[in-house]
Amino acid sequence: MASLGFEGFEKRLELVFLLPTCGGERARHGLRLLPVAALREALEAVQCAVVSAAGNASFDAYVLSESSLFVYPSRVILKTCGTTRLLRAVPVLLRAAGELGLGLRSCRYSRGSYLFPEAQPFPHADFDDEVRYLDGAVPSGLHFRRSSVLQPSPQSTHKWHVYSASTSSDGATGHEHVDGATHFTVEVCMTELDRTLARQFYLTPADARSSHAIGDEMTALSGLGGVNPQSLVFGYAFAPCGYSMNALDGARYATVHVTPEDGHSYASYEYAGGGADALASIGRAVAVFRPSVVSASVCYATTAGSQAVDATSVWSAVANALEPLGLACRSQAAEGFPGAVTVTYQTFTA
């Protein structure tokens, strides 16, 4: 817990590995062969734990006590909120992957601006410290490194922090396409949620059902089940309030995390998948919460795909999804990172 309330804004880490070329089980399953003990050690270093797990033919998904973990054969995405020490997982994961014969291909770390920055532990209180920690943690073979703080306007208090390291300056960073379409990773942060809608994510006193059962009911009643209607959704309710869910659809995933308390209410939506629906789904997710303040970041590969994608078209698609909800774009920015990846960032207010 932070000093004034729970820190909803998440830190996000994505590590992409090279699978062995010799074939066999390690080449097919890669990181999904990580021992349970290795995952537990990584999460203990972060100071969180698994509360729910699911999987399909493409990946494994875990709801954590603070956000989510996704494990594919060649990449792992770890997203945590609160005062977790996310980057402490990096050396643990690199060592465990190395024991499977997997070498790191790229690393990307991102986060927004905290609600309670003074409560964050080292190295997370300061982005410069996070960058130094990552520079020392990732292998020296990742020559192409860049860190940047996207602040669309000098007046804006909203900033998007990004660190990227890659073995290549222009090659792909893994999982760039889904069904022939350009892959997008969408991260949406919402604050000042509609109070009535936020109350849906409180437990009813004396409700004896499981956290999974109550979470499934919250998914249905809130409308979150319709954000990505083709997905299999796993919801989880926290006591006395709060909600997390992971949604699985083939190789795609979506995840939502809600901290509904008055004064520091927060919800996040993340989607990783291909096609225009990745951007259109932003509007459906934000409509569930009706926030007064929204920031949206989109990460995508610029080197290939079924159609050309640029920052202007992404900005327009995000604005088209949010403006019908009474939200106006106040600022926008975009920057390129090693591995031919572009990150866009926009802020919206009611």
Residue spans per domain, the chain? 11-349
Is 264 a catalytic site residue? no
- Helix, strand or coil for residue 50? strand
Q: Which of 52, 244, 297, 331 is catalytic?
A: 244
How far is the C-alpha of 307 from the C-alpha of 304, rounded, in Å?
A: 8
Is 140 a catalytic site residue? no
DSSP for 191-251 reads: ES--HHHHGGGBPPTT--S-HHHHHHHHHHHHTGGGTSTTSEEEEEE-SSB-EEEEEEETT
Predicted confidence (pLDDT) per residue in 192-237, tens digit:
999 999 999 999 988 999 999 999 999 999 999 999 999 999 999 9
Tokens of 168: 């290549």
What is the model's pLDDT at position 267?
96
Task: Look up the CATH number of domain 11-349.
Answer: 3.60.90.10
DSSP helix, strand, coil percent of the chain (3-state; round to 5): 30, 35, 35
How far is the C-alpha of 278 from the C-alpha of 232, rounded, in Å?
A: 16
What is the model's pLDDT at position 309?
81
How far is the C-alpha of 55 from the C-alpha of 248, rounded, in Å?
A: 8
Is 244 a catalytic site residue? yes
Q: Which of 48, 81, 107, 299 is catalytic?
A: 81
Q: Which of 7, 66, 130, 176 is catalytic?
A: 7
Show pLDDT as tens, one digit a residue, over the chain (350 residues).
Answer: 345 677 878 999 999 999 988 778 887 899 999 999 999 999 999 999 999 999 999 999 999 999 999 999 999 999 999 899 999 999 999 999 999 999 999 999 999 988 888 889 999 999 999 999 999 999 999 999 999 999 877 767 789 999 999 998 775 555 544 444 578 999 999 999 999 999 999 999 889 999 999 999 999 999 999 999 999 999 999 999 999 999 999 999 999 999 999 988 999 999 998 877 889 899 999 999 999 999 999 999 865 454 668 899 999 999 999 999 999 999 999 999 988 899 999 999 99
How far is the C-alpha of 103 from the C-alpha of 206, rounded, in Å?
A: 49
Q: Which of 14, 48, 52, 67 is catalytic?
A: 67
Is 292 a catalytic site residue? no
Tokens of 105: 């291909």
What is the model's pLDDT at position 111?
95
